[in-house]
């Protein structure tokens, strides 16, 4: 019997993780702890909200009193920590928000784990979800492995690197059982349209320009979000205490090639003439400090725990586009209001 806090469960990846744990483990109590920032949306969990093993607690992870109350009230046995400020561009304009949630918030959760689990740390696990961006940027060759030296460049990746270090420090210093996994770029249903793929899908639907930063040659490794949730499930249950696991799709794309594939798939699905969407591509001012290439070597996860991606990129992308086409109300609600202001400051003067 476990009572697991999943932080950030109303966000993109967190909602897929919550659904998977609630559905696959009816004996576990799953407490979704989320502050519902602009990125949190309970609509993402409509289908499971009435399940008897699911509870939502609106709380900010930087509020130590609220976190302590949740640990006491539920007798929390484990933490799967996803809550974060997650968008690189926002970290460039508001770095302190990222320090607050990603660094301070993580330490507050660790402090609660230290306090409430002290009778026997061996019965509990603190599993921290992190990013490949902590490793910095690659040239044209090579991959990030679990032993690659940290070299973060953006305020976002610096804050995530710091949180990773704190998790390991609590493991080494206090004996808290902890695991960190570092994943590449996710895509799929419920992705907030500030990130490249959902932003493009939304703009194509509205025949708006498709902003490509710089020359579009930056490379990212893309993984379907359901496969990330599968990896998190596996690592939570079978990962080694104190270990790090890299998670990736073995699926590298330059941004411009990815944009073109998406344009072609959407021409077809929307019944537009081939080439129609590509005409919307617009090269815009580059992101400051834009990392050139990320590429994850996920061999350890594959060899030790038998994980591999379950869908090809073309399949995952097609399913993702279909999800947005079938959930226009979701995207319309999200892109009204504050999103319009965000879009204007990020793009209209770019």
Q: Which residues in 273-312 contact ligand DAU (CB under 6 A)?
A: 287, 294
> Who's near 223: CB < 8 A, 6+ residues apart?
183, 184, 185, 186, 187, 247, 248, 249, 251, 309
CB of 9 to ligand DAU, least distance (A): 16
Strand pairing of 78-81 and 185-187?
Answer: unpaired
Question: What is the C-alpha separation between 259 and 273, in angstroms, rounded?
Answer: 17
Contact between residue 309 and residue 228 where contact means Cβ atoms under 8 Å apart: no
Q: Choosing among ligand NAD, ligand DAU, none, which partner's interface includes residue 8 (Cβ < 5 to 8 Å by kind)?
A: ligand NAD
The span of 20-28, 178-186, 235-243, 256-264 binding ligand NAD (CB under 6 A) equals 178-186
Q: Exactly one of 22, 45, 48, 61 binds ligand NAD (CB under 6 A); which one?
A: 61
CB of 221 to ligand DAU, least distance (A): 8
CB of 246 to ligand NAD, least distance (A): 11
Question: What is the C-alpha separation between 39 and 147, in angstroms, rounded?
Answer: 31
Question: What is the C-alpha separation between 265 and 268, in angstroms, rounded?
Answer: 5
Contact between residue 337 and residue 277 where contact means Cβ atoms under 8 Å apart: no
The verdict on 167 binding ligand DAU (CB under 6 A) reads: no
Q: Helix (H, G, I), strand (E, B), or coil: what is residue 32? A: strand
Q: Exactly one of 4, 5, 6, 13 binds ligand NAD (CB under 6 A); which one?
A: 13
Angle at the Cα of 223 from the Cα atoms of 59 and 80, rounded to 5 degrees = 30
Q: Choosing among ligand DAU, ligand NAD, none, which partner's interface includes residue 246 (Cβ < 5 to 8 Å by kind)?
A: none
Structure tokens at 201: 């899908």
Q: Exactly one of 14, 155, 198, 316 binds ligand NAD (CB under 6 A); which one?
A: 14
Q: Exactly one of 5, 10, 134, 212 binds ligand NAD (CB under 6 A); which one?
A: 10
Known catalytic membership, residue 273: no
Known catalytic membership, residue 28: no
Contact between residue 96 and residue 62 where contact means Cβ atoms under 8 Å apart: no
**Active-site residue (options: 54, 121, 135, 156):** 156
The verdict on 32 binding ligand DAU (CB under 6 A) reads: no
The verdict on 195 binding ligand DAU (CB under 6 A) reads: yes
Q: Which residues in 101-120 contact ligand NAD (CB under 6 A)?
A: 101, 105
Q: Which residues in 151-170 contact ligand NAD (CB under 6 A)?
A: 160
Q: Choosing among ligand DAU, ligand NAD, none, which partner's interface includes residue 218 (Cβ < 5 to 8 Å by kind)?
A: ligand DAU
Known catalytic membership, residue 156: yes
Q: Which of 23, 60, 19 is nearest to 42 (CA)?
A: 19
**Region of residue 140 (left: phi > 0; alpha: psi -120 to 50; beta: else):** alpha
CB of 14 to ligand NAD, least distance (A): 5
Place of tokens 């509870």: 55
Report the catalytic residues: 132-133, 156
Q: Which residues bind ligand DAU (CB under 6 A)?
A: 86-88, 131-133, 184-185, 195-196, 199, 211-213, 218, 220, 255, 287, 294
């Amino acid at each position: 019997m476990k009572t697991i806090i999943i932080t950030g469960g109303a966000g993109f990846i967190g909602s897929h993780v919550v659904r998977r744990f609630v559905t696959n483990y009816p004996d576990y109590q799953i407490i979704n702890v989320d502050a519902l920032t602009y990125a949190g949306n309970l609509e993402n969990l409509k289908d499971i909200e009435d399940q008897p093993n699911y509870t939502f607690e609106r709380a900010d992870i930087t509020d130590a009193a609220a976190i302590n109350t949740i640990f006491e009230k539920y007798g929390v046995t484990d933490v799967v920590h996803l809550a974060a400020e997650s968008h690189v561009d926002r970290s460039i304009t508001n770095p302190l928000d990222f320090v607050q949630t990603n660094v301070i918030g993580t330490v507050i959760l660790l402090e609660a784990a230290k306090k409430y689990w002290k009778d026997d740390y061996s019965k509990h696990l603190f599993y921290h979800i992190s990013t490949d961006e902590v490793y910095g940027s690659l040239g044209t060759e090579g991959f990030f492995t679990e032993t690659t030296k940290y070299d973060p460049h953006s305020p976002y990746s610096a804050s995530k690197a710091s949180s990773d270090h704190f998790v390991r420090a609590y493991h080494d210093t206090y004996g808290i059982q902890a695991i960190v996994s570092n994943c590449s770029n996710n895509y799929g249903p419920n992705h907030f349209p500030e990130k490249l793929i959902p932003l493009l899908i939304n703009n194509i639907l509205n025949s708006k320009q498709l902003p490509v930063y710089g020359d579009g040659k930056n490379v990212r490794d893309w993984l379907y979000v359901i496969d990330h949730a599968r990896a998190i499930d596996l690592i939570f249950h079978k990962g080694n205490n104190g270990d790090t696991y890299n998670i990736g799709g073995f699926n590298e794309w330059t941004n411009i090639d990815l944009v073109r594939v998406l344009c072609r798939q959407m021409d077809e699905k929307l019944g537009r003439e081939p080439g129609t969407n590509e005409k919307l591509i617009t090269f815009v001012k580059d992101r400051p400090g834009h990392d050139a290439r990320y590429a994850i070597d996920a061999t350890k996860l594959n060899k030790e725990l038998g994980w591999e991606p379950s869908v090809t990129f073309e399949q995952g992308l097609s399913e993702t586009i279909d999800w947005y086409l079938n959930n226009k109300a979701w995207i319309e609600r999200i892109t009204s209001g504050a999103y319009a202001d965000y879009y204007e400051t990020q793009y209209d003067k770019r």
